[in-house]
Amino acid sequence: MARVFSGIQPSGELHLGNYLGAVRNWVRLQDQHECLFCVVDLHAITQPYEPATLGERTLEMATGLLAAGLDPAKCTVFVQSHVPEHSELNWLLTTVAPLGELERQTQYKDKAQRQESVPAGLLNYPILQAADVLLYKAELVPVGEDQLQHLELMREIARRWNHRFGAGYFPEPQALLTPTKRVLGLDGQAKMSKSLGNTIGLFEDADTIWEKLKPAATDPARVTRKDPGNPDICNIFTIHQGFSTPAQQADVAHKCRTAGWGCLDCKRLLADNIIAALAPMRERHARYRADPERVRAILRDGAARVRVIARKTITEVRARMGLLEAAED
Ligand code: SF4
């Protein structure tokens, strides 16, 4: 079985965009590969954040992942900062990472633009990503298209390190492109994101889901019920593709193009499908929420499991890089 690594930032509660864009795929992958899924809190602190709530958000994200269907019997779920070898390998890889490439990363340029004072951690973000994956010699990394540039840099870092310290030591990880179109927020403008307030939370109740969906953006050409629309440019149809059956999707597209129904009818069907699909997750979420110690124990076991691999890699990397072994007590 190939080893898969993927991470998610501790943004708090999961939303539909996280689920369709990544987590649903992770739930499938855990049945096919050896999967390591990580809440990447060290990545989160490269941008302005609130220290008082970071721990809480990390626990909430882990709770959400388990509720969404990650099964600790099939995969390993852990928190990045609980495995200090991520930080150590990050430093060791900075010695081979190409500065020019780091500065050219689109995400770095976007995020740096929005900050008055740019922390070095933001520039080094892709090196920490490389450390996350290479620490476990993971072969496959599920990513969206927006992460492909970072993955290519990760492969370059692996090649450079291998060239200098050990041919073939680190496998060059391959992208496993997530098979879902990018889901926009309810405003139909930007990516679904908690900070933009345009999300539907994965564990929200049926009434809240419907109230949020009702005013959501559609094809602007459908001003009245009689106007035909184009499902290909409608975010509601993109979400239908995540929750409705192929037959329902065909029917939605037909009725949209022929003005056979109103957008509210279309959204009602979508709301019903979302509510039905999320019901078991909402139940699991309530159970995990009521027992945070259980979630903490799962995270502790996960970190213990992956540290066995991480320590071995770090010991080998240190030796290949010529660092003096510490004396035993
Ligand atoms: Fe979008 Fe459905 Fe309205 Fe068509 S009918 S524009 S797919 S919400």
% of the chain with per-residue pLDDT over 90: 83
Question: Could you tell me if residue 196 is inside a domain?
Answer: no
Nearest Cα to 296, choosing from 1, 55, 51? 55
Same domain, 129 and 265: no
Range in 13-17, 142-146, 201-205 with the lowest mean pLDDT = 142-146
Same domain, 97 and 242: no
Same domain, 260 and 305: no
| Number of domains present in the structure of the chain | 2
Which domain, by its residues, includes 257?
203-286
Question: Could you tell me if residue 141 is inside a domain?
Answer: yes
Same domain, 226 and 244: yes
Confidence of residue 183 (pLDDT cuts 50, 70, 90): confident
* Residue pLDDT, tens place only, 295-309: 999 999 999 999 999
CATH of the domain at 157: 3.40.50.620
Residue 191 a catalytic site member: yes
User: What 3-state DSSP class applies to 140?
Assistant: strand
Same domain, 49 and 159: yes
Query: How many Cβ atoms are within 10 Å of 233's Cβ, its own excluded?
Result: 13
State the distance from the centre of ligand 1 to the C-alpha of 253, rounded, in angstroms: 8
Count of residues in the chain:
329
User: What 3-state DSSP class applies to 34?
Assistant: strand
* Residue pLDDT, tens place only, 223-275: 888 999 999 999 999 999 999 999 999 999 999 999 999 999 999 999 999 99
DSSP 280: H
User: What 3-state DSSP class applies to 176?
Assistant: strand
pLDDT at 1 over 90: no
% of the chain with per-residue pLDDT over 70: 99
Spatial separation of the C-alpha atoms in residues 295 and 17, rounded to whole Å: 23
* Residue pLDDT, tens place only, 21-72: 999 999 999 999 999 999 999 999 998 899 999 999 999 999 999 999 999 9
pLDDT at 39: 98
Question: Could you tell me if residue 325 is inside a domain?
Answer: no
Mutate to test the pocket of ligand 1, among 241, 256, 269 (most ligand atoms within 8 A of CB): 256
Can you give the pTM of this predicted structure?
0.93
Same domain, 114 and 35: yes
Same domain, 89 and 51: yes
Mutate to test the pocket of ligand 1, among 213, 226, 232, 236 (most ligand atoms within 8 A of CB): 236
Same domain, 72 and 213: no
Ligand 1 pocket residue status of 141, Cβ below 6 Å: no
Question: Could you tell me if residue 191 is inside a domain?
Answer: no
Question: Could you tell me if residue 329 is inside a domain?
Answer: no
